[in-house]
């Protein structure tokens, strides 16, 4: 089973299950990836304010605040490019039921040109009004940060086939070389995708984490986004790392598209 992404964790059994209103299981998108699941497995609960750029989207995906009015997510989470007021973004909280949560409706969706279910898995969602008081997440513009240990976070299932979560989970996953990843995913688009995870499994993104960011500290110690949760086989399975859109490969296109919205 391939999932369109997820986060899974050993702490899942202790967490209170939460189904996000109006959410569509990540496995529902796209038709070519019927066995994809997205969420954070093997994660722990994030602290309020730890990752202020995290966004929960009402179709059951994640995202990151690219600018105060634009969310970066996965192409497989959205429909075609054009006006769209059907998406609700929830921001500013780790608890989706918090009375302090910020919500914004979408006004426009921009899906990566040429996206057909293979590679190019990025999209932008313009919000109807800017969000103030929250940090945005810069994206990598070179491959300089495409190694080491990454952080992933999301409200997705805590185990394969599990429920969406009320509280934001986080986990760390190590870089997996392209040559190793291709043994698990022969169709991996090396120039556009990056892999991370453990050989023995146990920690991963999962159903509902699709579109969320994979990030790490930059040279100054600030967070920088390196990947976008895209797909994987099951969740946290041994020898099947998570596959992420390699943000630096599309940095110029993302910046240009955002400037045009």
Q: What is the pLDDT of residue 40?
A: 74
Share of the chain above pLDDT 90, in %: 79
Q: What are phi and psi of 260, to 5 degrees?
A: -90, -10
Condensed to tens digits (0 to 9), the pLDDT of residues 42-63 reads 889 999 999 999 999 999 999 9
Report the chain's mean pLDDT, rounded to a whole number: 87
Residue 76: active-site member: yes
Contact at 8 Å (CB) between 72 and 63? Answer: yes
Q: What is the pLDDT of residue 12?
A: 31
> Can you give the three-state secondary structure of the chain, one letter per residue?
CEEECCEECHHHHHCCECCCCCCCCHHHCCHHHCCCECCCECCEECCCCCCCCEEEECCCEEEEEEECCEEEECHHHCCCCEECCCCEEEECCCECCCCCCEEEEEEEEEECCCCCCCCCCCEEEEECCCCCCCCCCCECCCHHHCCCEEEEEECCCCCCCCCCECECEEEEEEEECHHHHHHHCCCCCCCCEEEECCCCCCCEECCCCCCCEEEEECCCCCEEEEEEEEEEECCCCCCCCEEEEEHHHHHHHHHHHHHHC
State the catalytic residue, choosing from 5, 58, 106, 121: 121
Structural tokens at position 79: 């429909």
Pairing mode, strands 61-67 and 70-73? antiparallel
pTM for the predicted model, two decimal places = 0.87
Residue 5: active-site member: no
pLDDT band at 39; cut points 50, 70, 90? very low
Domains along the chain with CATH numbers? 49-260 (2.40.10.10)
* Angle CA 190–195–200, to nearest 5: 135
Condensed to tens digits (0 to 9), the pLDDT of residues 100-146 reads 999 999 999 999 999 999 999 999 999 999 999 999 999 999 999 99
Residue 129: active-site member: no
- Quick one: average pLDDT of 201-226? 96
Condensed to tens digits (0 to 9), the pLDDT of residues 52-95 reads 999 999 999 999 999 999 999 999 999 999 999 999 999 999 99
pLDDT band at 188; cut points 50, 70, 90? very high
pLDDT band at 2; cut points 50, 70, 90? low
State the catalytic residue, choosing from 58, 64, 210, 248: 210
Condensed to tens digits (0 to 9), the pLDDT of residues 234-250 reads 999 999 999 999 999 99
Q: Is the pLDDT of residue 255 over 90?
A: yes
Segment of 10-14, 29-33, 134-138 carrying the highest mean pLDDT: 134-138
State the catalytic residue, choosing from 5, 58, 64, 76: 76
Residue 74 CA to residue 225 CA, distance in Å, equals 13
Q: Is the pLDDT of residue 37 over 60?
A: no
Taking the alpha carbons of 35, 36, 37, 40 in that order, is the dihedral positive or negative?
positive
């Amino acid at each position: 089973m391939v999932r369109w992404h997820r986060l899974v964790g050993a702490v899942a059994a202790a967490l209170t299950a939460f189904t996000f209103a109006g959410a569509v299981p990540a496995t529902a998108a796209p038709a070519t990836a019927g066995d994809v699941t997205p969420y954070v497995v093997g994660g722990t609960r994030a602290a309020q304010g730890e990752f202020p750029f995290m966004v929960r989207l009402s179709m059951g995906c994640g995202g990151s605040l690219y600018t105060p009015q634009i969310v970066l997510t996965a192409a497989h989470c959205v429909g075609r490019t054009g006006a769209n007021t059907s998406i609700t973004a929830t921001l500013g909280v780790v608890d989706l039921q918090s009375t302090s949560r910020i919500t914004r409706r979408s006004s426009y969706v921009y899906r990566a040109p040429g996206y057909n279910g293979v590679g190019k898995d990025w999209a932008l969602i313009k919000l109807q009004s800017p969000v103030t008081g929250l940090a945005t997440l810069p994206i990598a513009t070179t491959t300089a940060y495409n190694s080491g240990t990454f952080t992933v976070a999301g409200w997705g299932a805590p185990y394969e086939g599990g429920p969406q979560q009320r509280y934001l989970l986080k986990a760390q996953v190590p870089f997996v070389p392209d040559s190793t990843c291709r043994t698990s995913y022969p169709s991996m688009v090396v120039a556009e995708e990056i892999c991370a995870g453990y050989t023995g499994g146990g920690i991963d993104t999962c159903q509902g984490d699709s579109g969320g960011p994979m990030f790490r500290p930059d040279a100054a110690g600030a967070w920088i986004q390196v990947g976008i949760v895209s797909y994987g086989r099951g969740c946290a399975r041994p020898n099947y790392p998570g596959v992420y859109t390699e943000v630096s490969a599309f940095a110029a296109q993302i910046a240009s598209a955002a400037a045009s919205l």
